[in-house]
Amino acid sequence: MARLGLTARMLAIGATCLIAMWIIILAGYYRANGTATSPHPSPGQLAALADLLSRTPSVDRPQVLAAAQSPTLDLTLQSAETAKPVVRSDPGQPPALTGLAEFADYRTALGARLLSIASPEAGARIVPAFRRSSGQGLPLEFRIQLADASVLVVESRPPFATTVIGLPVGMGAGLVGTLIALLTLILVQLEIRPLLKLAQAADRFDPSGPPIPLPRTTGRTPDVAVLIRAFGRLQDRLQILMRTRLALISGVQHDVRSFATRLRLRVEAIPEAHERDRAIKDIDDMIRLLDDALLSARAGSGALDEELIDLGAMLRADIADMSRNGGRDGGRNGMAVDLDPGSPAGEVLVLGDRLALRRILSNLIDNAIKYGRVAHVGLEVSGRDAVITVRDEGPGIAAELRHTLLEPFIRGEPSRARQTGGAGLGLAIVRTLVEAHAGRIDIDTAPSGGAEVRVALPLFYG
């Protein structure tokens, strides 16, 4: 049952209902059509058979009896000498039913010739009317006296076994079993429903977001209630963990920034310019790494700010600043970066965190210049997305490495040399920030043969 989907379970419940209704209708038919479907010979048939045998010579009577025999009707003829009178008080005789109102038609049709009507079933005197009303009747034995004092014994049996209430054997069990199956299906469906809701809540769960409402446990089985409460506790612990992690990273960043600032002031006193510049660059890289870690943590915990940003204007301003003043080290005389003149001149609005979006652009441009000497930045609107493209003129990125480069601490240049810089976090941070904005990032080959990174962000539609 657990492997069946909701539709299959509902179909099973519907099919079981139809089976139960069919059995109930069939039982009602048996109960309501007793006279029409009675397996016993009618009073007129017995009277006609008795008259025929009375007029038939003794030597021909066996042929008549053979012709009237059937699987449900057994005829025997007892001579006047061998026939025994029916003694009502004899416990060895079948229970007599002759005087009951249900057999008045037989008494009328046969008159004094009807010696007895009996049933071989114990307790038949108690239930004949109830069972005859079902149309199935009891096994009966008719004893009819012929004109020559011989006795015709007619044993009539139903074509199938019946219960006390006149229904075929097994119909009651089938009806009860079907109703139990229907009840079981309904109970299972009621118990599985909160589990489906719990699975949907698990899919929507975001450790950085508000708690997801869970199904109520009132009236549920203990196992299901325990599972729902356990998931609720897990949700609370994960959210506490995310808040604690973000607070820890923020605290570390603040303290390290304080130490780095004091260290930079001391570094300024280094007399040798080359060593001083290298020390300052190392401190700036350390601070940037901390900033990236905090920004990534905020993105992972859903703590990024949201504001309406004109992506085109932001790209134009940042690229102009980079081309004039250099990159993140601030020590270059401009960067080899340009914006595609075909980029939209009008507003390209997105909803996001300005600092995070600028960090995405900065990391992509830094990587392009580091590994491909130049960064060509483009912006276009594709469907419901704003697409930022950064191309370089380097050797490109092998197809098998494109996905792994988006993971933390993975670099296209395997060494840890400071000349090529970084710890392999640039693209990983870009991916985290892009996904926090409900966007996507892809790496491909540029027309020039270098690397091409495409970042798609959803446009804002007010």
- Percent residues over pLDDT 90 in the chain: 13
CB neighbours (10 Å) of residue 333? 7
365 and 289 in a single domain? The answer is: no
308 and 454 in a single domain? The answer is: yes
**pLDDT recorded at residue 165:** 57
Domain count, the chain: 3
Q: What is the pTM of this model?
A: 0.48
Cβ pair 205, 32 in contact under 8 A: no
Let me know if residue 178 belongs to a domain. no
Residue where a domain stops, chosen among 268, 303, 338: 303
CATH code (residue 385): 3.30.565.10
Confidence of residue 329 (pLDDT cuts 50, 70, 90): very low
Q: What is the mean pLDDT of residues 268-293?
A: 77
**pLDDT recorded at residue 193:** 78
252 or 330, higher pLDDT: 252
Q: What is the mean pLDDT of residues 159-167?
A: 61
**pLDDT recorded at residue 171:** 66
Let me know if residue 49 belongs to a domain. yes
The first and second tokens of residue 160, run together, are 């199938």
**pLDDT recorded at residue 123:** 46
334 and 285 in a single domain? The answer is: no
Residue where a domain stops, chosen among 303, 327, 362: 303
Axis crossing angle, helix 273-300 with helix 222-267, rounded to the nearest 10:
160
* Confidence check: pLDDT of 129 > 50: no
342 and 449 in a single domain? The answer is: yes
Between CA 411 and CA 432 the distance in angstroms is: 16
Between CA 321 and CA 362 the distance in angstroms is: 11
Let me know if residue 439 belongs to a domain. yes
Domain residues for the domain of 383 are: 304-458
280 and 324 in a single domain? The answer is: no
Between CA 134 and CA 167 the distance in angstroms is: 7
**Long-range Cβ pairs for the range 221-227 (8 Å, 24+):** 221/191, 224/191, 224/194, 224/195, 227/195, 227/198
89 and 99 in a single domain? The answer is: yes
Let me know if residue 4 belongs to a domain. no
Residue at token pair 């069946």: 4
Lowest pLDDT segment from 22-31, 245-254, 310-319, 328-337: 328-337
Residue where a domain stops, chosen among 156, 186, 215: 156
447 and 309 in a single domain? The answer is: yes
279 and 365 in a single domain? The answer is: no
CATH code (residue 133): 3.30.450
Let me know if residue 134 belongs to a domain. yes
Q: What is the mean pLDDT of residues 296-311?
A: 77
452 and 312 in a single domain? The answer is: yes
332 and 228 in a single domain? The answer is: no
Q: What is the DSSP letter of 403?
A: T
297 or 34, higher pLDDT: 297
**pLDDT recorded at residue 220:** 66
Cβ pair 372, 394 in contact under 8 A: yes
Q: Are strands 114-118 and 151-156 parallel, antiparallel or unpaired?
A: unpaired
**pLDDT recorded at residue 391:** 93
Q: What is the mean pLDDT of residues 332-357?
A: 84
* Confidence check: pLDDT of 323 > 60: yes
Rounded to the nearest integer, the mean pLDDT of the chain is 77
Let me know if residue 97 belongs to a domain. yes
**pLDDT recorded at residue 454:** 94
Task: Give 80-92 pLDDT, tens digit per residue.
Answer: 777 666 544 444 4
Let me know if residue 197 belongs to a domain. no
272 and 399 in a single domain? The answer is: no
Lowest pLDDT segment from 13-17, 130-134, 300-304: 130-134
Smallest CA-to-CA distance from 350 within 432, 426, 434 is with: 434
Between CA 206 and CA 185 the distance in angstroms is: 34
The first and second tokens of residue 238, run together, are 């994960």
286 and 422 in a single domain? The answer is: no
Let me know if residue 406 belongs to a domain. yes
Q: What is the mean pLDDT of residues 437-451?
A: 90
